[in-house]
Amino acid sequence: MKLSKASFLNFSLGGLLISIHWYLFFYSIKISSISLTLSILSTASLMASFLEPLFYKRPFRIHELLFGLVAIIGLVLIFGIQTENYIAILMSLFCTLLSVLFSLLNGYLIKKHSSLKISFYEIIFGLFIISLIMFVSDVKFPSVHLIKTSNWIYIFILGSLCTAYAFVASTYILKHISPYTMMMSLNLEPIYGIIFSLIIFGDKEYIDVQFYIGAAIIFLGVIGNIVFKFKKTS
In this predicted structure, the answer to whether residue 24 has a pLDDT above a threshold of 60 is yes
Distance, in Å, from the CA atom of 197 to the CA atom of 93, rounded to the nearest integer, reads 20
Cα dihedral value 147, 153, 158, 164, nearest 10: 110
Task: Look up residue 143 and give its DSSP letter.
Answer: P
**Which one, of 232, 53, 26, lies nearest residue 130 by Cα?**
26
| 3-class DSSP state of 18 | helix
Residue 222 has pLDDT above 80, yes or no: no
Give CA–CA dist 61/152, Å, rounded. Answer: 46
The pLDDT score that the predictor gives to residue 141 is 64
Q: Across residues 49-70, what is the average pLDDT?
A: 84
* Reported pTM: 0.81
Which one has a higher pLDDT value, 18 or 38?
A: 18
State how far the Cα of 3 lies from the Cα of 23, in Å rounded to an integer.
Answer: 27
- As a whole-number percent, the residues of the chain with pLDDT over 70 amount to 85
Predicted confidence band at 155 (pLDDT cuts at 50, 70, 90)?
confident
Out of 4-8, 39-43, 163-167, 210-214, the most confident range is 4-8
Instruction: Give the pLDDT confidence of 74-129 residue by residue, as tens digits.
Output: 777 766 655 567 888 889 899 999 999 999 999 999 999 999 999 999 999 999 99
When mean pLDDT is compared across 51-60, 157-166, 225-234, the lowest value belongs to: 225-234
Pick from 38-42, 46-50, 113-117: least confident: 38-42
Q: What is the pLDDT of residue 40?
A: 81
Residue 1 has pLDDT above 80, yes or no: no
CB atoms within 10 A of CB 116: 13
Q: What is the mean pLDDT of residues 39-60?
A: 85
| Tally of CB atoms within 10 A around 88 | 22
Comparing C-alpha atoms, which of 173, 179, 168, 177 is closest to residue 116?
168
Residue 222 CB burial class (10 angstroms; 0-12, 13-18, ≥19): buried
Confidence check: pLDDT of 206 > 60: no
Backbone angles phi, psi at 121, to 5 degrees: -70, -35
Instruction: Name the residue type at position 17.
Output: L
Q: Within 10 Å of residue 139's Cβ, how many Cβ atoms?
A: 7
Q: What is the mean pLDDT of the chain?
A: 82
Exposed, middle or buried: residue 122 (CB in 10 Å: 0-12, 13-18, 19+)? buried
Tally of CB atoms within 10 A around 66 = 14
What's the rounded Cα separation, in Å, for the pair 212 and 198? 12
Res. 207 pLDDT band, cuts 50 70 90: low
Amino acid at 203: D
